[in-house]
Structure 1
Amino acid sequence: MIIHVSGPCGADTVWQRYTCLDAWASWAPHITRVHALRRTLVTGLSGTVESVAHVKIPFLVYMVDNEQRAWTWQVRVGPIRVTLHHDVHPHAGGSRAGLTMQGPTPVLAAYAPLARRALRRLVRF
């Protein structure tokens, strides 16, 4: 499943919002906190994302490419694994954030509205 969202924030600003873990809760309303040893997004980083329901979801970052403004991670809930690839590109008047998700179709379908809302906030505020 692929989602693209465009907004007025510049690509560098959007990328900084991705790479600063403490900023995630400001643009992703379903996330209240990120628990990890580092506060910056880097390849190999692991931790948990805490949801508004106080559920902690483990994650592992597989790739971060600062030059291309792209990163890939996997989240896990029990036996369910979802891989998410994010990218940010300059776009007319701002930026375009892309998300490619791989995992069980029902899980992706349920998560897509939350992801789209978060991405809209990411590129707009």
Structure 2
Amino acid sequence: MARLILHATGPAIPETVWRRYVCVDEWASWSPQIKAVQAAERRLTAGMSGTVESVAGIRAAFVVDAVDHDRRSWAWRVRLGPVRLRLHHGVCTHTRGSTTSLTMDGPRLALLAYAPFALLALRRLVRP
């Protein structure tokens, strides 16, 4: 197992960035690799599960482990076949707006393959 940490800073205020995380219907608007999210809940909650469908039609199952609205952080597990990733997201205030972070744990090759897509998504997440 390996760990990779990514950050992006931008002018969007933390409340806006957090709302974009919490509303799963917004994920495709800032994460270009996501086509749709199938889940019973439309707002991020601990224990929710579902699938994330990529623009290529690939579906990955997920379970949300924790959501802390006060700290603007959440963690989930994503599974695509035998590959399992644990991802932890956070949003903080920054002098230029906000910073979002993503800590990923999983197989090194999977993390390195996903990192460019994740970084692009994070950069779009903190845009106004």
- Does the pair score TM above 0.5? yes
Deviation at 1:93, TM superposition (A): 2.0
Aligned residue number for residue 89 of structure 1: 92
TM-score (normalizing by structure 2): 0.96
CA contact (8 A) 2:21 2:44 kept: yes
Aligned residue number for residue 102 of structure 2: 99
Q: Quick one: which of 116, 119, 122 aligns to 2:122?
A: 119
Point out where structure 1 has 5 or more consecutive residues left out of the alignment. Answer: none
Shift >4 Å, 4+ stretches: none
Quote the RMSD (CA, aligned, Å): 0.6
Q: Map residues 1-80 of structure 1 onto 2, 5 A cutoff.
A: 1-80=4-83
How many residues end up aligned between the 2 structures?
Answer: 125
Point out where structure 2 has 5 or more consecutive residues left out of the alignment. Answer: none
Deviation at 1:55, TM superposition (A): 1.4
CA distance in 1, matches of 2:24, 2:8: 20
Q: Share of identical aligned residues, percent?
A: 54
**Partner deviation per Cα, 1:43-72 (whole Å, 9 max, x = no partner):** 000000000011111000000000000000
Letter in 1 for 2:123: R
